[in-house]
Structure 1
Amino acid sequence: MTDLQDLQDVPGDPGRKEELAANLAAVERRIDAACAAAGRKREDVTLIVVTKTYPASDVRILSGLGVRHVAENRDQDAAPKAAACADLPLTWHFVGQLQTNKVRSVVSYADMVQSVDRAKLVTALSKEAERAGRALGCLIQVALDAEVDGRGERGGVGAGGVEELAARVAEAPGLRLDGLMTVAPLTGDYAGRQQAAFERLMDLSTHLRVAHPAANMVSAGMSSDLEEAVAAGATHVRVGTAVLGVRPRLG
Protein backbone atom coordinates (compact mmCIF):
# COMPACT_ATOMS: atom_id res chain seq x y z
CA MET A 1 0.00 0.00 0.00
CA THR A 2 1.06 3.58 -0.63
CA ASP A 3 2.62 5.39 2.33
CA LEU A 4 0.91 8.49 3.68
CA GLN A 5 4.03 10.49 2.80
CA ASP A 6 3.94 9.38 -0.83
CA LEU A 7 0.56 10.50 -2.19
CA GLN A 8 1.63 12.97 -4.85
CA ASP A 9 1.19 10.47 -7.70
CA VAL A 10 -2.27 9.32 -6.54
CA PRO A 11 -5.10 11.06 -8.44
CA GLY A 12 -7.92 12.86 -6.63
CA ASP A 13 -8.64 15.44 -3.97
CA PRO A 14 -5.62 15.73 -1.60
CA GLY A 15 -7.75 15.78 1.54
CA ARG A 16 -9.73 12.73 0.49
CA LYS A 17 -6.52 10.94 -0.51
CA GLU A 18 -5.08 11.46 2.95
CA GLU A 19 -8.30 10.32 4.61
CA LEU A 20 -8.57 7.14 2.55
CA ALA A 21 -4.86 6.37 2.89
CA ALA A 22 -5.06 6.68 6.67
CA ASN A 23 -8.22 4.54 6.86
CA LEU A 24 -6.77 1.92 4.54
CA ALA A 25 -3.57 1.75 6.56
CA ALA A 26 -5.59 1.25 9.76
CA VAL A 27 -7.57 -1.60 8.18
CA GLU A 28 -4.35 -3.18 6.93
CA ARG A 29 -2.97 -3.06 10.47
CA ARG A 30 -6.11 -4.79 11.74
CA ILE A 31 -5.77 -7.55 9.16
CA ASP A 32 -2.06 -7.92 9.92
CA ALA A 33 -2.81 -8.28 13.64
CA ALA A 34 -5.67 -10.72 13.03
CA CYS A 35 -3.49 -12.89 10.82
CA ALA A 36 -0.69 -12.86 13.41
CA ALA A 37 -3.12 -13.82 16.16
CA ALA A 38 -4.50 -16.67 14.05
CA GLY A 39 -1.07 -17.89 12.96
CA ARG A 40 -1.87 -17.14 9.33
CA LYS A 41 0.17 -15.49 6.59
CA ARG A 42 -0.98 -11.98 5.67
CA GLU A 43 -0.96 -12.89 1.98
CA ASP A 44 -3.59 -15.55 2.64
CA VAL A 45 -6.25 -12.88 3.27
CA THR A 46 -7.44 -10.58 0.47
CA LEU A 47 -9.04 -7.23 1.24
CA ILE A 48 -12.07 -6.30 -0.86
CA VAL A 49 -13.09 -2.66 -0.42
CA VAL A 50 -16.86 -2.21 -0.66
CA THR A 51 -17.29 1.06 -2.57
CA LYS A 52 -21.09 1.14 -2.71
CA THR A 53 -22.63 4.65 -2.49
CA TYR A 54 -19.19 6.24 -3.03
CA PRO A 55 -18.11 7.90 -6.30
CA ALA A 56 -15.78 6.70 -9.00
CA SER A 57 -13.27 9.31 -7.83
CA ASP A 58 -12.87 7.37 -4.57
CA VAL A 59 -12.33 4.15 -6.54
CA ARG A 60 -9.56 5.91 -8.46
CA ILE A 61 -7.90 7.03 -5.25
CA LEU A 62 -8.11 3.53 -3.79
CA SER A 63 -6.61 2.04 -6.93
CA GLY A 64 -3.74 4.52 -6.66
CA LEU A 65 -3.26 3.39 -3.06
CA GLY A 66 -2.84 -0.22 -4.15
CA VAL A 67 -6.38 -1.61 -3.76
CA ARG A 68 -7.06 -4.27 -6.38
CA HIS A 69 -10.47 -5.65 -5.33
CA VAL A 70 -13.64 -3.56 -5.03
CA ALA A 71 -17.25 -4.58 -4.43
CA GLU A 72 -20.67 -3.14 -5.25
CA ASN A 73 -24.18 -4.26 -4.37
CA ARG A 74 -26.48 -2.25 -6.68
CA ASP A 75 -26.17 -2.56 -10.44
CA GLN A 76 -27.61 0.90 -11.11
CA ASP A 77 -24.71 2.40 -9.17
CA ALA A 78 -22.05 -0.12 -10.09
CA ALA A 79 -22.42 -0.19 -13.88
CA PRO A 80 -21.57 3.48 -14.54
CA LYS A 81 -18.85 3.43 -11.87
CA ALA A 82 -17.19 0.36 -13.38
CA ALA A 83 -17.36 1.97 -16.83
CA ALA A 84 -15.74 5.14 -15.51
CA CYS A 85 -12.95 3.06 -13.96
CA ALA A 86 -12.50 0.55 -16.77
CA ASP A 87 -8.88 1.60 -17.26
CA LEU A 88 -7.91 0.63 -13.69
CA PRO A 89 -6.36 -2.75 -12.71
CA LEU A 90 -9.33 -3.79 -10.56
CA THR A 91 -11.30 -6.95 -9.91
CA TRP A 92 -14.99 -6.10 -9.49
CA HIS A 93 -17.12 -8.16 -7.11
CA PHE A 94 -20.92 -8.00 -7.07
CA VAL A 95 -22.11 -8.73 -3.53
CA GLY A 96 -25.79 -7.69 -3.45
CA GLN A 97 -28.98 -9.61 -4.02
CA LEU A 98 -29.18 -9.95 -7.79
CA GLN A 99 -32.38 -9.87 -9.83
CA THR A 100 -32.28 -11.83 -13.06
CA ASN A 101 -33.22 -8.73 -15.10
CA LYS A 102 -29.93 -7.13 -13.98
CA VAL A 103 -27.74 -10.10 -14.86
CA ARG A 104 -26.74 -8.96 -18.36
CA SER A 105 -25.50 -5.64 -17.02
CA VAL A 106 -23.68 -7.18 -14.05
CA VAL A 107 -21.92 -9.76 -16.25
CA SER A 108 -20.62 -6.93 -18.43
CA TYR A 109 -18.33 -5.62 -15.67
CA ALA A 110 -18.24 -7.98 -12.67
CA ASP A 111 -15.43 -10.50 -12.45
CA MET A 112 -17.17 -12.32 -9.62
CA VAL A 113 -20.71 -12.61 -8.26
CA GLN A 114 -20.59 -13.46 -4.56
CA SER A 115 -24.36 -13.70 -4.05
CA VAL A 116 -25.43 -16.74 -6.05
CA ASP A 117 -28.32 -18.25 -4.12
CA ARG A 118 -30.82 -19.90 -6.49
CA ALA A 119 -30.95 -22.09 -9.58
CA LYS A 120 -32.74 -19.48 -11.70
CA LEU A 121 -29.90 -17.06 -11.12
CA VAL A 122 -27.30 -19.68 -12.10
CA THR A 123 -29.13 -20.23 -15.41
CA ALA A 124 -29.30 -16.50 -16.14
CA LEU A 125 -25.65 -15.90 -15.24
CA SER A 126 -24.52 -18.82 -17.38
CA LYS A 127 -26.48 -17.58 -20.39
CA GLU A 128 -25.05 -14.06 -20.19
CA ALA A 129 -21.51 -15.19 -19.41
CA GLU A 130 -21.58 -17.42 -22.47
CA ARG A 131 -23.02 -14.61 -24.60
CA ALA A 132 -20.28 -12.25 -23.41
CA GLY A 133 -17.54 -14.85 -23.79
CA ARG A 134 -16.54 -14.48 -20.17
CA ALA A 135 -15.58 -16.85 -17.37
CA LEU A 136 -17.49 -15.52 -14.39
CA GLY A 137 -16.43 -16.43 -10.87
CA CYS A 138 -19.29 -17.39 -8.54
CA LEU A 139 -19.63 -17.80 -4.81
CA ILE A 140 -22.60 -19.51 -3.21
CA GLN A 141 -24.11 -17.14 -0.64
CA VAL A 142 -24.89 -19.14 2.49
CA ALA A 143 -27.67 -17.90 4.76
CA LEU A 144 -26.90 -18.97 8.30
CA ASP A 145 -30.19 -17.47 9.51
CA ALA A 146 -32.22 -19.75 7.23
CA GLU A 147 -33.80 -23.11 7.71
CA VAL A 148 -31.63 -25.90 6.33
CA ASP A 149 -33.30 -25.76 2.92
CA GLY A 150 -34.68 -22.21 3.12
CA ARG A 151 -33.50 -18.71 2.23
CA GLY A 152 -32.16 -15.93 4.42
CA GLU A 153 -33.59 -12.51 5.14
CA ARG A 154 -30.77 -10.87 3.19
CA GLY A 155 -30.54 -13.51 0.48
CA GLY A 156 -28.55 -16.70 0.52
CA VAL A 157 -29.37 -20.37 0.53
CA GLY A 158 -29.63 -22.51 3.65
CA ALA A 159 -26.80 -24.90 4.42
CA GLY A 160 -28.78 -27.83 3.08
CA GLY A 161 -29.01 -26.27 -0.37
CA VAL A 162 -25.32 -25.51 -0.85
CA GLU A 163 -24.27 -28.82 -2.38
CA GLU A 164 -26.95 -28.91 -5.07
CA LEU A 165 -26.51 -25.26 -6.03
CA ALA A 166 -22.73 -25.63 -6.14
CA ALA A 167 -23.08 -28.56 -8.52
CA ARG A 168 -25.28 -26.44 -10.79
CA VAL A 169 -22.69 -23.67 -10.89
CA ALA A 170 -19.83 -26.11 -11.50
CA GLU A 171 -21.67 -27.62 -14.46
CA ALA A 172 -22.89 -24.33 -15.97
CA PRO A 173 -21.08 -23.07 -19.09
CA GLY A 174 -19.35 -19.74 -18.55
CA LEU A 175 -19.33 -20.01 -14.76
CA ARG A 176 -16.58 -20.95 -12.33
CA LEU A 177 -17.36 -22.19 -8.82
CA ASP A 178 -14.93 -20.34 -6.56
CA GLY A 179 -16.33 -20.95 -3.07
CA LEU A 180 -18.70 -19.61 -0.45
CA MET A 181 -19.78 -16.27 1.02
CA THR A 182 -21.83 -15.27 4.04
CA VAL A 183 -22.94 -12.24 6.00
CA ALA A 184 -23.05 -12.57 9.79
CA PRO A 185 -26.76 -13.13 10.52
CA LEU A 186 -28.88 -10.78 12.60
CA THR A 187 -31.35 -13.50 13.65
CA GLY A 188 -31.29 -17.21 14.40
CA ASP A 189 -28.79 -19.39 16.22
CA TYR A 190 -25.75 -17.41 15.04
CA ALA A 191 -27.03 -13.90 15.78
CA GLY A 192 -24.34 -12.03 17.69
CA ARG A 193 -21.97 -14.98 17.33
CA GLN A 194 -19.91 -13.89 14.35
CA GLN A 195 -16.95 -16.19 14.82
CA ALA A 196 -19.19 -19.20 15.31
CA ALA A 197 -21.04 -18.23 12.14
CA PHE A 198 -17.80 -17.92 10.18
CA GLU A 199 -16.53 -21.21 11.58
CA ARG A 200 -19.74 -22.85 10.35
CA LEU A 201 -19.06 -21.39 6.91
CA MET A 202 -15.56 -22.88 7.02
CA ASP A 203 -17.05 -26.28 7.85
CA LEU A 204 -19.29 -25.98 4.80
CA SER A 205 -16.28 -24.93 2.71
CA THR A 206 -14.31 -27.98 3.83
CA HIS A 207 -17.21 -30.20 2.77
CA LEU A 208 -17.61 -28.37 -0.56
CA ARG A 209 -13.94 -28.82 -1.42
CA VAL A 210 -14.26 -32.60 -1.24
CA ALA A 211 -16.25 -32.49 -4.48
CA HIS A 212 -14.87 -29.19 -5.80
CA PRO A 213 -11.23 -28.80 -4.67
CA ALA A 214 -10.69 -25.51 -6.50
CA ALA A 215 -13.65 -23.83 -4.76
CA ASN A 216 -11.47 -22.64 -1.89
CA MET A 217 -12.51 -18.98 -1.57
CA VAL A 218 -14.30 -18.07 1.67
CA SER A 219 -15.66 -14.52 1.76
CA ALA A 220 -16.72 -13.39 5.23
CA GLY A 221 -16.28 -10.51 7.60
CA MET A 222 -16.84 -6.79 7.26
CA SER A 223 -15.70 -3.63 9.04
CA SER A 224 -17.04 -4.68 12.44
CA ASP A 225 -16.05 -8.35 12.43
CA LEU A 226 -13.11 -8.88 10.10
CA GLU A 227 -10.98 -10.19 12.99
CA GLU A 228 -13.48 -12.96 13.70
CA ALA A 229 -13.55 -13.87 10.01
CA VAL A 230 -9.76 -14.06 9.77
CA ALA A 231 -9.64 -16.16 12.94
CA ALA A 232 -12.15 -18.58 11.44
CA GLY A 233 -10.15 -18.92 8.22
CA ALA A 234 -11.75 -16.51 5.72
CA THR A 235 -9.70 -15.94 2.58
CA HIS A 236 -11.41 -12.64 1.71
CA VAL A 237 -12.86 -9.86 3.88
CA ARG A 238 -15.26 -7.20 2.58
CA VAL A 239 -14.62 -3.84 4.22
CA GLY A 240 -16.47 -0.63 3.40
CA THR A 241 -17.15 1.77 6.25
CA ALA A 242 -13.76 1.35 7.91
CA VAL A 243 -12.05 2.47 4.70
CA LEU A 244 -14.49 4.93 3.14
CA GLY A 245 -16.34 6.29 6.16
CA VAL A 246 -19.95 6.16 7.29
CA ARG A 247 -22.22 5.98 4.28
CA PRO A 248 -24.83 8.63 3.54
CA ARG A 249 -28.44 7.55 3.86
CA LEU A 250 -29.96 6.30 0.66
CA GLY A 251 -33.19 7.92 -0.40
Structure 2
Amino acid sequence: MRLKLLTWDVKDTLLRVRLPVGQQYQAEAKSRGIQVDSASLESSFRQVYRNHWRLFPNYGLSQGMTSHRWWLDVVSQTFRLSGVHDEKILQPLAEKLYQDFYTNKYWEVLPGAREALKECGELGLKMAVISNFDRRLEDILQQVDLDRHFEFVLTSESAGVAKPDLAIFHKALKLGGVLPQYAAHIGDDFVNDYMAAREAGMVSFLLQRHPREDIPSDHLIQSFDQLIPRLQKVIE
Protein backbone atom coordinates (compact mmCIF):
# COMPACT_ATOMS: atom_id res chain seq x y z
CA MET A 1 0.00 0.00 0.00
CA ARG A 2 0.95 3.64 -0.29
CA LEU A 3 0.09 5.83 2.67
CA LYS A 4 -1.29 9.20 1.59
CA LEU A 5 -2.80 10.84 4.69
CA LEU A 6 -1.59 10.94 8.29
CA THR A 7 -3.98 12.36 10.87
CA TRP A 8 -2.98 13.44 14.36
CA ASP A 9 -4.62 13.78 17.72
CA VAL A 10 -3.40 16.95 19.48
CA LYS A 11 -3.74 17.02 23.28
CA ASP A 12 -1.04 14.88 24.90
CA THR A 13 0.07 13.81 21.42
CA LEU A 14 1.46 17.06 20.01
CA LEU A 15 0.60 19.56 22.75
CA ARG A 16 0.33 19.46 26.53
CA VAL A 17 -0.59 22.01 29.16
CA ARG A 18 2.49 23.78 30.54
CA LEU A 19 1.43 23.18 34.14
CA PRO A 20 -1.31 21.10 35.74
CA VAL A 21 -4.71 22.75 35.36
CA GLY A 22 -5.03 23.19 39.14
CA GLN A 23 -1.84 25.25 39.27
CA GLN A 24 -2.87 27.39 36.31
CA TYR A 25 -6.31 28.04 37.80
CA GLN A 26 -4.75 28.81 41.19
CA ALA A 27 -2.35 31.37 39.67
CA GLU A 28 -5.16 33.24 37.93
CA ALA A 29 -7.27 33.20 41.09
CA LYS A 30 -4.33 34.44 43.17
CA SER A 31 -3.85 37.38 40.79
CA ARG A 32 -7.39 38.39 41.76
CA GLY A 33 -6.78 38.02 45.50
CA ILE A 34 -8.43 34.61 45.80
CA GLN A 35 -6.61 31.92 47.76
CA VAL A 36 -7.52 28.38 46.74
CA ASP A 37 -5.56 25.14 46.90
CA SER A 38 -4.18 23.92 43.55
CA ALA A 39 -4.63 20.24 44.44
CA SER A 40 -8.27 20.89 45.27
CA LEU A 41 -8.74 22.70 41.97
CA GLU A 42 -7.08 19.85 40.06
CA SER A 43 -9.34 17.27 41.68
CA SER A 44 -12.42 19.43 41.21
CA PHE A 45 -11.61 20.08 37.56
CA ARG A 46 -11.23 16.40 36.75
CA GLN A 47 -14.53 15.59 38.45
CA VAL A 48 -16.44 18.46 36.87
CA TYR A 49 -14.99 17.87 33.40
CA ARG A 50 -15.83 14.17 33.49
CA ASN A 51 -19.39 14.79 34.68
CA HIS A 52 -19.99 17.65 32.26
CA TRP A 53 -18.77 15.64 29.27
CA ARG A 54 -21.08 12.80 30.31
CA LEU A 55 -24.11 15.07 30.71
CA PHE A 56 -23.31 17.39 27.79
CA PRO A 57 -21.07 15.42 25.42
CA ASN A 58 -19.02 17.23 22.79
CA TYR A 59 -19.51 20.62 24.44
CA GLY A 60 -23.27 20.20 24.57
CA LEU A 61 -23.67 21.06 20.90
CA SER A 62 -26.62 18.74 20.38
CA GLN A 63 -28.30 20.30 23.44
CA GLY A 64 -28.06 23.86 22.20
CA MET A 65 -24.89 24.87 24.05
CA THR A 66 -21.77 26.49 22.65
CA SER A 67 -18.28 25.34 23.58
CA HIS A 68 -17.72 28.79 25.10
CA ARG A 69 -20.68 28.39 27.43
CA TRP A 70 -19.69 24.78 28.16
CA TRP A 71 -16.20 25.79 29.29
CA LEU A 72 -17.40 28.75 31.37
CA ASP A 73 -19.66 26.35 33.23
CA VAL A 74 -16.84 23.84 33.77
CA VAL A 75 -14.45 26.47 35.10
CA SER A 76 -17.06 28.10 37.34
CA GLN A 77 -18.17 24.76 38.77
CA THR A 78 -14.55 23.78 39.37
CA PHE A 79 -14.04 26.83 41.57
CA ARG A 80 -17.38 26.35 43.33
CA LEU A 81 -16.44 22.77 44.18
CA SER A 82 -13.18 24.11 45.63
CA GLY A 83 -14.98 26.62 47.84
CA VAL A 84 -15.23 29.80 45.75
CA HIS A 85 -18.86 30.94 45.52
CA ASP A 86 -18.80 34.68 44.74
CA GLU A 87 -20.55 34.86 41.35
CA LYS A 88 -19.20 38.37 40.73
CA ILE A 89 -15.72 36.86 40.80
CA LEU A 90 -16.45 33.55 39.10
CA GLN A 91 -17.75 34.76 35.74
CA PRO A 92 -14.87 37.13 34.86
CA LEU A 93 -12.38 34.59 36.22
CA ALA A 94 -13.83 31.84 34.03
CA GLU A 95 -13.88 34.14 30.99
CA LYS A 96 -10.23 35.14 31.51
CA LEU A 97 -9.11 31.52 31.77
CA TYR A 98 -11.12 30.62 28.67
CA GLN A 99 -9.45 33.38 26.67
CA ASP A 100 -5.96 32.55 27.98
CA PHE A 101 -6.35 28.94 26.87
CA TYR A 102 -6.84 30.37 23.37
CA THR A 103 -3.12 31.17 23.32
CA ASN A 104 0.23 29.49 23.90
CA LYS A 105 0.32 30.92 27.44
CA TYR A 106 -0.85 27.59 28.82
CA TRP A 107 0.23 25.22 26.02
CA GLU A 108 3.57 23.79 24.94
CA VAL A 109 4.68 21.48 22.15
CA LEU A 110 5.74 18.04 23.32
CA PRO A 111 9.47 17.27 22.94
CA GLY A 112 10.18 15.75 19.54
CA ALA A 113 6.82 16.69 18.03
CA ARG A 114 8.13 19.46 15.77
CA GLU A 115 10.85 17.22 14.37
CA ALA A 116 8.39 14.37 13.85
CA LEU A 117 6.00 16.58 11.89
CA LYS A 118 8.83 17.91 9.75
CA GLU A 119 10.08 14.40 8.97
CA CYS A 120 6.58 13.19 8.11
CA GLY A 121 6.21 16.09 5.72
CA GLU A 122 9.52 15.16 4.09
CA LEU A 123 8.09 11.69 3.43
CA GLY A 124 5.52 13.40 1.22
CA LEU A 125 2.59 12.69 3.53
CA LYS A 126 -0.46 14.92 3.61
CA MET A 127 -1.25 15.62 7.27
CA ALA A 128 -4.32 16.74 9.20
CA VAL A 129 -5.76 16.87 12.71
CA ILE A 130 -8.64 14.90 14.23
CA SER A 131 -9.20 16.13 17.77
CA ASN A 132 -11.88 16.23 20.46
CA PHE A 133 -11.18 19.93 20.86
CA ASP A 134 -13.26 23.07 20.54
CA ARG A 135 -13.03 25.89 18.02
CA ARG A 136 -9.97 27.41 19.68
CA LEU A 137 -7.66 24.70 18.35
CA GLU A 138 -6.74 26.30 15.02
CA ASP A 139 -5.68 29.50 16.78
CA ILE A 140 -3.68 27.53 19.36
CA LEU A 141 -1.87 25.59 16.63
CA GLN A 142 -1.07 28.86 14.91
CA GLN A 143 0.24 30.32 18.18
CA VAL A 144 2.67 27.41 18.64
CA ASP A 145 3.60 27.39 14.92
CA LEU A 146 2.30 23.92 14.12
CA ASP A 147 -0.59 24.90 11.87
CA ARG A 148 1.61 25.04 8.75
CA HIS A 149 2.02 21.26 8.82
CA PHE A 150 -1.68 20.49 8.36
CA GLU A 151 -3.96 20.57 5.34
CA PHE A 152 -6.98 20.81 7.62
CA VAL A 153 -7.95 20.72 11.30
CA LEU A 154 -11.08 18.76 12.16
CA THR A 155 -12.28 19.33 15.71
CA SER A 156 -15.18 17.52 17.32
CA GLU A 157 -16.93 20.88 17.54
CA SER A 158 -16.63 21.56 13.82
CA ALA A 159 -17.47 17.94 12.94
CA GLY A 160 -20.45 17.84 15.29
CA VAL A 161 -19.30 14.46 16.57
CA ALA A 162 -16.48 13.33 18.85
CA LYS A 163 -14.04 10.43 18.87
CA PRO A 164 -14.47 7.48 19.20
CA ASP A 165 -17.50 7.92 16.94
CA LEU A 166 -16.36 6.71 13.52
CA ALA A 167 -18.19 9.57 11.82
CA ILE A 168 -15.42 12.03 12.67
CA PHE A 169 -12.86 9.76 10.98
CA HIS A 170 -15.13 9.37 7.94
CA LYS A 171 -15.41 13.16 7.71
CA ALA A 172 -11.62 13.49 7.85
CA LEU A 173 -11.15 10.89 5.13
CA LYS A 174 -13.63 12.72 2.93
CA LEU A 175 -11.84 16.03 3.52
CA GLY A 176 -8.53 14.35 2.75
CA GLY A 177 -9.91 12.71 -0.36
CA VAL A 178 -8.53 9.27 0.50
CA LEU A 179 -9.87 5.81 1.21
CA PRO A 180 -9.31 4.57 4.77
CA GLN A 181 -6.71 1.97 3.77
CA TYR A 182 -4.46 4.80 2.54
CA ALA A 183 -4.66 6.73 5.79
CA ALA A 184 -3.12 6.40 9.26
CA HIS A 185 -3.87 8.03 12.59
CA ILE A 186 -1.67 8.64 15.61
CA GLY A 187 -2.84 9.52 19.13
CA ASP A 188 -2.38 8.77 22.79
CA ASP A 189 -5.79 7.34 23.66
CA PHE A 190 -6.34 3.60 23.20
CA VAL A 191 -10.11 3.85 22.59
CA ASN A 192 -10.52 7.27 20.99
CA ASP A 193 -7.49 7.10 18.74
CA TYR A 194 -6.04 3.63 18.27
CA MET A 195 -9.16 1.46 18.28
CA ALA A 196 -11.53 3.95 16.66
CA ALA A 197 -9.22 4.66 13.72
CA ARG A 198 -8.76 0.94 13.12
CA GLU A 199 -12.51 0.39 13.21
CA ALA A 200 -12.77 3.12 10.57
CA GLY A 201 -10.44 1.06 8.37
CA MET A 202 -7.32 3.17 8.90
CA VAL A 203 -3.88 2.17 10.09
CA SER A 204 -3.29 3.55 13.58
CA PHE A 205 -0.47 3.99 16.06
CA LEU A 206 -0.72 4.47 19.80
CA LEU A 207 1.66 7.02 21.31
CA GLN A 208 2.47 5.84 24.82
CA ARG A 209 5.75 5.69 26.68
CA HIS A 210 4.97 2.45 28.50
CA PRO A 211 4.98 -0.95 26.81
CA ARG A 212 1.65 -2.70 26.27
CA GLU A 213 0.86 -6.34 25.62
CA ASP A 214 -2.61 -5.77 24.14
CA ILE A 215 -1.43 -4.36 20.80
CA PRO A 216 1.30 -5.39 18.35
CA SER A 217 4.65 -3.81 19.15
CA ASP A 218 4.87 -2.16 15.73
CA HIS A 219 1.60 -0.32 16.45
CA LEU A 220 3.10 1.26 19.58
CA ILE A 221 5.21 4.42 19.53
CA GLN A 222 7.03 5.04 22.79
CA SER A 223 9.01 8.01 21.45
CA PHE A 224 8.77 10.11 18.32
CA ASP A 225 12.01 8.69 16.92
CA GLN A 226 10.14 5.41 16.40
CA LEU A 227 7.49 7.02 14.23
CA ILE A 228 9.31 7.30 10.91
CA PRO A 229 10.47 3.64 10.88
CA ARG A 230 6.89 2.58 11.65
CA LEU A 231 5.50 4.74 8.86
CA GLN A 232 8.09 3.61 6.34
CA LYS A 233 6.95 0.03 6.80
CA VAL A 234 3.41 1.10 5.93
CA ILE A 235 4.47 3.33 3.05
CA GLU A 236 6.66 0.71 1.46
The alignment's TM-score, normalised by the length of structure 2, stands at 0.30
Q: Indicate the structure with greater helix content.
A: 2
